[in-house]
């Protein structure tokens, strides 16, 4: 498992509960390494695709990992595995099954929206400014957001997922700032689709040549941060044939293989589904699938090892929550009068899957809060060092 944040913890548990040996390649998160199902953890190189591929091959030789499955934890490691599947596939089983030539249309949002238009799937109005002059001439309406087409380089723009702008002056200023962090061609301007969590919908599936083998539809009711959330905090499975059919057209066009989540938002202005993202790897709430009857990581592992996978749909009415981020989201909604306390308590009725808390694996839940606080402190020090390099010395930055 490449990476060690909470969504990777879900993969570790999914496989470990089936008696499958799991090693974690840890990043700056540590949560998955505390699981009883993580047999061993090793560091993951922070950058450099060539270095990372060589590292994986070195591990395979050193520890005799022939035939082990490689699971990516985010878009960048999924892209890395896809681009290097031939080399890595000589030793490992690579869980990113869609070839890079096709996976790029899920990885790069410019290509995602182009494909969506070709197959008749709506998406938010999106502009691709060639420079500051195009931004000054923007007439797409407000509020708008700035959004990166890819997230290859981690920084405050790519991590934030979207930067809002309520007027042209703010849009131009934020565009100028974004261009200091990523290539200008990667900055997109997109309309904001109105609505709340009731309108945020996802289709999750394990596919074989564009055909879903196991799947579910979910409503992402709460997220953190509340405006343009980086991650869902409360999700429930539902029935929605339109979401299933719309996502199916896109996945069939991609001939997609493997695990995928397709994110939509239903536009209250016209009632139409608008495509937001295609995530060609595990997603934050994937452990909801186990409680709903479709344990995605384990079923992918079976597929990669030639074992049969029976077609199935996740049952509706199952809930998932990540308490660490859901609690502040709920407190904000309570203060704003957007949620009542009885409604919140009702949302926690079973069947429910917790993102981190697990009776058979309690230690990650115990260390989650202190680990999150430590990581926030480290990143704060790194940010201050990068913003004021003349003031904060390298030794001071390391000490933080």
- Read off the pLDDT of residues 154-163 as tens digits, 9 standing for 90 and up: 899 998 889 9
Query: Is residue 334 scored above 80 in pLDDT?
Result: yes
Give the pLDDT score at 47. Answer: 79
- Read off the pLDDT of residues 262-278 as tens digits, 9 standing for 90 and up: 999 999 999 999 999 99
* Secondary structure E strands in the chain: 23-26, 40-43, 69-70, 93-94, 126-127, 144-148, 163-165, 187-191, 200-208, 211-224, 231-238, 258-266, 273-279, 312-313, 319-321, 352-354
Query: Is residue 260 scored above 60 in pLDDT?
Result: yes
Instruction: Find out whether 319 and 232 touch, Cβ atoms under 8 Å.
Output: no
Query: Following DSSP, what letter does each residue of 10-49 receive, concatenated?
Result: HHHHHHHTTT---EEEE-S--GGGGSTT--EEEE--SS-H
- In this structure, are 241 and 335 located in the same domain? yes
User: What's the token pair of residue 364?
Assistant: 């990650």
Query: What average pLDDT does this structure show over 226-232?
Result: 77
- In this structure, are 254 and 164 located in the same domain? no
d(CA 352, CA 202): 18
- In this structure, are 187 and 236 located in the same domain? no
Give Cβ neighbours of residue 236 (< 8 Å, ≥ 6 apart).
218, 219, 221, 316, 317, 318, 319, 320
Give the pLDDT score at 160. Answer: 86
Query: What average pLDDT does this structure show over 231-241?
Result: 96
Query: What average pLDDT does this structure show over 10-14?
Result: 98
Instruction: Find out whether 204 and 216 touch, Cβ atoms under 8 Å.
Output: yes
- Read off the pLDDT of residues 166-203 as tens digits, 9 standing for 90 and up: 999 999 999 999 999 999 999 999 999 998 889 999 99
- Read off the pLDDT of residues 110-133 as tens digits, 9 standing for 90 and up: 999 999 999 999 999 999 999 999
Give Cβ neighbours of residue 64 (< 8 Å, ≥ 6 apart).
none
- In this structure, are 337 and 214 located in the same domain? yes
Percent above pLDDT 70 for the chain: 94
Residue 132 forms part of a structural domain: yes
| Confidence band, pLDDT 50/70/90 cuts, at residue 398 | very low
- Read off the pLDDT of residues 53-102 as tens digits, 9 standing for 90 and up: 999 999 999 999 999 999 999 999 999 999 999 999 999 999 999 999 99
Please work out, in degrees rounded to the nearest 5, the angle formed at the alpha carbon of residue 23 by the alpha carbons of 20 and 25.
150
How is the chain split among helix, strand and coil, in percent rounded to 5?
Answer: 40, 20, 35
Give the pLDDT score at 94. Answer: 98
- In this structure, are 204 and 152 located in the same domain? no
| Confidence band, pLDDT 50/70/90 cuts, at residue 382 | low
End-of-domain residue from the set 191, 213, 232: 191
- Read off the pLDDT of residues 287-325 as tens digits, 9 standing for 90 and up: 999 999 999 999 999 999 999 999 999 999 999 999 999
Return the CATH number at 66.
3.40.50
Give the pLDDT score at 392. Answer: 33
Query: Closest by alpha carbon to 151, among 32, 262, 277?
Result: 277
Residue 228 forms part of a structural domain: yes
- In this structure, are 170 and 284 located in the same domain? no
Residue 27 forms part of a structural domain: yes
Give the pLDDT score at 287. Answer: 98
Instruction: Find out whether 116 and 123 touch, Cβ atoms under 8 Å.
Output: yes
Query: Is residue 234 scored above 70 in pLDDT?
Result: yes
Give the pLDDT score at 82. Answer: 98
Residue 266 forms part of a structural domain: yes
Give the pLDDT score at 399. Answer: 31
When the pLDDT of each residue in the chain is averaged and rounded to a whole number, the result is: 92
d(CA 369, CA 379): 15
Residue 178 forms part of a structural domain: yes
Name the β-bridge partners of 23: 40
pTM of the model: 0.92
Return the CATH number at 254.
3.30.470.20
- Read off the pLDDT of residues 14-63 as tens digits, 9 standing for 90 and up: 999 999 999 999 998 889 999 999 999 999 998 799 999 999 999 999 99
Query: Is residue 384 scored above 90 in pLDDT?
Result: no
Residue 325 forms part of a structural domain: yes
Q: What DSSP element (H or E) covers 247? A: helix 241-254
Q: Which domain holds residue 148?
A: 125-191
Residues counted in the chain: 400
Whether omega before 143 lies within 30 degrees of 0, making that bond cis, reads yes
């Amino acid at each position: 498992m490449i990476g060690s944040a909470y969504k990777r913890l879900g993969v570790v548990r999914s496989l470990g509960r089936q008696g499958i040996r799991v090693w974690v390649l840890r990043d700056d998160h540590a949560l998955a390494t505390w699981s009883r199902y993580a047999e061993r953890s090793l560091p993951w190189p922070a950058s450099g695709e060539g270095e990372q591929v060589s590292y994986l091959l070195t591990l395979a030789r050193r520890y005799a990992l022939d035939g082990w499955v490689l699971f990516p934890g985010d878009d960048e490691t999924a892209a890395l595995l896809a681009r290097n599947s031939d080399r890595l596939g000589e030793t490992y089983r690579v869980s990113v099954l869609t070839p890079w030539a096709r996976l790029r249309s899920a990885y790069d949002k410019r290509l995602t929206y182009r494909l969506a238009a070709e197959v008749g799937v709506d998406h938010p109005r999106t502009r691709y400014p060639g420079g500051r002059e195009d931004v000054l001439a923007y007439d797409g309406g407000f509020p708008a957001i700035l959004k990166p087409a890819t997230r290859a380089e981690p920084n405050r723009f790519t991590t934030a997922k979207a930067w809002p702008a309520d007027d042209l002056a703010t849009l131009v200023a934020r565009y100028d700032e974004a261009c200091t962090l990523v290539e200008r061609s990667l900055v997109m301007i997109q309309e904001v689709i109105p609505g709340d969590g009731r309108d945020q919908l996802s289709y999750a599936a394990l596919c074989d040549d564009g055909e879903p083998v196991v799947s579910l539809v979910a409503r992402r009711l709460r997220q953190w941060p509340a405006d343009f959330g980086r991650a869902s905090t409360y999700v429930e499975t539902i029935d929605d044939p339109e979401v299933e059919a719309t996502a199916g057209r896109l996945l069939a066009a991609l001939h997609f293989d493997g695990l995928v989540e397709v994110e939509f938002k239903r536009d209250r202005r016209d009632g139409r589904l608008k495509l937001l993202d295609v995530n060609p790897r595990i997603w934050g709430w994937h452990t909801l699938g186990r409680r709903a009857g479709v344990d995605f990581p384990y079923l992918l592992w079976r597929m990669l090892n030639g074992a049969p996978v029976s077609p199935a749909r996740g049952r509706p009415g199952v809930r998932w929550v990540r308490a660490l981020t859901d609690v502040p989201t709920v407190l904000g909604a309570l203060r704003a009068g957007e949620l009542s306390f009885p409604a919140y308590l009702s949302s926690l009725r079973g069947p429910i899957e917790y993102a981190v808390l697990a009776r058979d694996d309690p230690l990650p839940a115990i260390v989650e809060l202190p680990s999150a606080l430590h990581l926030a402190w480290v990143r704060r020090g790194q940010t201050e060092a990068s913003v004021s390099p003349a003031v904060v010395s390298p030794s001071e930055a390391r000490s933080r």
